[in-house]
Structure 1
């Protein structure tokens, strides 16, 4: 039997077969890597970075921060004003009944552990004998990962504990690391993403073998989101303008539905997506949204889960082409006609809670087999960037600029809707209201709505309205813009880690 040694790599296990010996299995656990074995080469460095910088930003079955079942983008939208779900038991998410110890909010904390892995990897790459270009590129990817993960955790929980490298090198010493202050956390996010953006390329061509790795465009998109959420309008406007430069190569696709088609993967509107491939990385979009009697999908797994509430669906204008990616009426395989009118009458109807956000490969399902889809899962796209840019301009300048109106109308024109004229807005607040709704229609189930409502100051009222419409109770107040830390984190903190206010 092979004699196998396991090397602990900041939480990542690498196994090496060291030749046939006896029939005895031996294991040795080390608290550090033997630098003479791994990592030493450029390919080692790439494996190390890929395993530690990218593994958290996955959507592979139920793994990764963007998975369809418990991913941060998906759950953020369920927490918004239009997120609904047929599965009862999801009420804490849907109606903001957060409580300490609830598994729904505890689940997201697991991504925080990757922060230490990334920091340890930065230390190892810095010590490797690599060319400056290669080393700087890998370090930039790691800093991008650390900044992006920090932003994602801050968005949900607020500041988190972040261990420095010296603390991480002493795993046997019991050390309690308090949460960063709000200012320290914000500075950390900006410093990491800015450093990465200064090194990484603007973007990668879809033909490039590097496509899917982190880029300057991704760093600046996350920074744009951060500046918007912290209401730093001037910086957000500057970054929004930056992302429209030709060097990035981004543009709006002419057809909305095609953005999410397998045949049109890696399109110019995509800023960053989880690259999926059959047998390698696949996501579970369709089983989470399709009703079990939907025709033309007999070979697919269907659980009839997530919905767009009928209350929000009814805000779409007639003729909006984005409705082509929403299933709001159909005749089931048993001949039953499903629609808002027919299904809202009883909770046992398949569309009682809302319309189906089909989005990916809608109606043809070519990227999905069984319950797994190989169609790239888009995290950020250009339409998100330019509408944030438009909002930042109006908020920063306190006026409706020509460029802000231009970008709002570009989104509407693609959707087949009439363009707005200046006379259509009574004031800047009216423009922002219309833009907020447009972003909801454009970016449904792309993880934007909760942030949009919080930034706008309308989150609490929107959730109260949602709950009133469906006859549900809610605990929502200003504190519920963030979710509580797991009780285990508070206990282990021994008084040095405080719970979020209101819990």
Structure 2
């Protein structure tokens, strides 16, 4: 049974904190906040609110910005006209978004709302005596975990928009000014380094679904790996150091099964360093697979809802998997059967005929996240994975190669081959890497295969200098400024202190 702190009434908690995204929102008095933290139930309820917000919104707009703008996932307009959405999905794939794109505006709003929730709790618990209230978690640990979550949200903002405000207090200032990307980077680094000592060593019943020391260090490694993009400075040695600390601690390891981290029982996976805990009852979130499957496969998976049939896998990306690669099993292609093994429910064609008029049964469908018995449209028991040990291994390998001018060292090869050995099993010897065939391009391809549908592809393509290039249904080379999204026009109109990104 998964341990998840019980959430208090959603609407009650929500009224206590102010979002930074809507500057016309009513400001609640400090008296309301001070009167709320009267007992341990209210404190835990407030504490869980920022996490509930994050697990709810990550698979939605943040995932769309991160994956639909890259080269693996696409939401085409279907032959029945569905998912056209005023062209907003195709605009992502073809890099034709503007500052008025509604999904970008929504992503901005939920990012600063998430930061606002964290700031509200940090301010609210500041004067509270945890021992007196008998709170089942130390105040220092709660603060550290919340600061990590706030740093995580700032990292999302830094990655998507670059120059953004740094906010640590609710509505103070009311109109926050833009900080440089380097300043945001340093804030994230400082926050994560400051929290490590107060975080638990390893996830356990009371801390599962929250940050641990390894979680903070893995997030730091990700920050350092992207430092050249964020600050034009290289911190690859620091990335390696953080990876080494996670590896040497011995608390995490690769799951024997490549899909183990994405099963309904993935809270037991030794690989997942940080995941949002879902129990199929109270944890509101989305299973990524719900966006990909045709609704005709509802009964095949015993679902209580119709899958959304939105996202298809680009054929070239699907074909990048070797047929001996077990990770190719996450895609549904060809005849799909239900209870009758002789009559297919649908036959899925990996080829997508057109981004503007795709067949309802086209495009390889990803089924990485396995549905549990209690899956509903927005309630699932398969935990939402954010950080896992496989990324620690591949980040260290990449940093080693970048220090070595992009040439693979034997140590880097040995690291990546840990992933390959799991992926190929008995066919590993014929598919293992060497210092000759592990190039930077091949490493990017391997990261794509390993982290498909995990929201990393856009960031990886940018780091490898491949984001703006041509691809299926995208004949143009994008402008360089497309590596950042625009600050939404709605937000720059509300806040005169925000600086728009160049090109928009």
CA 1:321 to 1:251, structure 2 compared with 1: closer, same or farther past 3 Å? same
Within 5 Å, which residues of 2 pair with 1:137-216? 137-165=141-169, 168=171, 175-205=174-204, 208-216=205-213
Contact 2:34 2:124 in 1 (8 A): no
- Deviation of 1:499 after TM superposition, in Å, equals 0.6
- In the TM superposition, what is the alpha-carbon distance from 1:373 to its structure 2 partner? 2.6
CA gap 1:128/1:431 in 2 versus in 1, 3 angstroms: same
- Name which of 398, 404, 415 aligns with 1:391: 398
What's 2:267 paired with? Answer: 265
C-alpha separation in 1, matches of 2:417 and 2:367: 25
CA deviation string 1:142-194 (max 9, x = no partner): 211111111011111112223454x8368xxxx53211122321111111111
What's the secondary structure of 1:256's corresponding residue? coil
Check 1:350–1:187 CA distance in 2 against 1; reply closer, same or farther (3 A cut): same
Greater shift, 83-92 or 251-260, is seen at 83-92
- Over 3 Å counting, the alpha-carbon distance change for 1:83 and 1:303 in structure 2 is same
**Is this contact kept in 2: 1:390–1:403, CA < 8 A?**
yes
Matches within 5 A, 1:3-402: 9-11=16-18, 31-33=29-31, 37-52=35-50, 54-59=51-56, 64=57, 66-67=58-59, 69-70=60-61, 72-86=62-76, 87-88=83-84, 89=87, 90-110=89-109, 111-131=111-131, 134-165=138-169, 168=171, 175-205=174-204, 208-231=205-228, 232-247=235-250, 249-282=251-284, 283-294=286-297, 296-297=300-301, 299=303, 300-331=305-336, 335=344, 338-340=347-349, 344=353, 347-352=357-362, 354-361=363-370, 366=373, 368-369=375-376, 372-398=379-405, 399-402=407-410
Secondary structure, counterpart of 1:259 in structure 2:
helix
Range moving further from structure 2, 272-281 or 390-399: 390-399
Q: Residues 9 and 33 of structure 1 are in contact (CA less than 8 Å); yes or no, is this contact kept in structure 2?
A: no
In 1, Cα distance between the equivalents of 2:14 and 2:329? 51
- Residues in 2 aligned to 1:199 and 1:385: alpha-carbon distance in whole angstroms: 22
Q: 1:123 to 1:158 in 2, by over 3 A?
A: same
Question: SS at the partner of 1:121?
Answer: helix
CA distance in 1, matches of 2:457, 2:278: 25
Partner of 1:436 in structure 2?
Answer: 444
Work out whether residues 221 and 385 of structure 1, in 8 Å CA contact, stay in contact via their aligned partners in 2.
yes
Q: After TM superposition, what 4+ stretches of structure 1 lie above 6 angstroms from structure 2?
A: none
**Separation (CA, whole Å) in 1 of partners of 2:68 and 2:274:** 22
* Root-mean-square deviation over aligned CA pairs: 3.0
**Which residue in 2 is equivalent to 1:21?**
none
CA distance in 2, matches of 1:490, 1:400: 45
Q: How far apart, in 2, do the equivalents of 1:328 and 1:355 lie?
A: 5
Q: Compared with structure 1, are the counterparts of its residues 35 and 84 closer, same or farther at alpha carbon in structure 2 (3 Å cutoff)?
A: closer
Q: 2:419 aligns with which of 411, 421, 429?
A: 411
Please list the CA deviations of residues 114-166 of structure 1 after superposition, one character each: whole Å capped at 9, or x if unmatched: 3234234323323222359822112111211111111011111112223454x
Conserved in 1, the CA contact under 8 Å of 2:397 and 2:416?
yes
Q: Is the 8 A contact 2:13 2:45 kept in 1?
A: no
Match of 1:500 in 2: 501
What do the CA deviations read for 1:203-262 (whole angstroms, capped 9, x no partner)? 213xx2331122112211221111111132111111111111235x11101111233111
CA spacing shift, 1:35–1:458, aligned 2, 3 Å: closer
Contact kept in structure 1, 2:335 and 2:344, CA below 8 Å: no
Aligned length: 455
Deviation at 1:460? 1.1
Shift of 1:73: 3.1
When normalised by structure 1's length, the TM-score is 0.82
Aligned-partner Cα distance in 1 for 2:13–2:152: 30
Q: 1:281, 1:6 → 2: CA distance?
A: 16
Task: Give the drift of 1:6.
Answer: 10
> Residue 130 of structure 2: SS of its match in structure 1?
coil
Larger mean CA deviation between 125-134 and 234-243 belongs to: 125-134
Contact 1:237 1:396 in 2 (8 A): no
Q: What residue ranges of structure 2 are gaps of 5+ in the alignment?
A: 1-11, 20-25, 77-82, 229-234
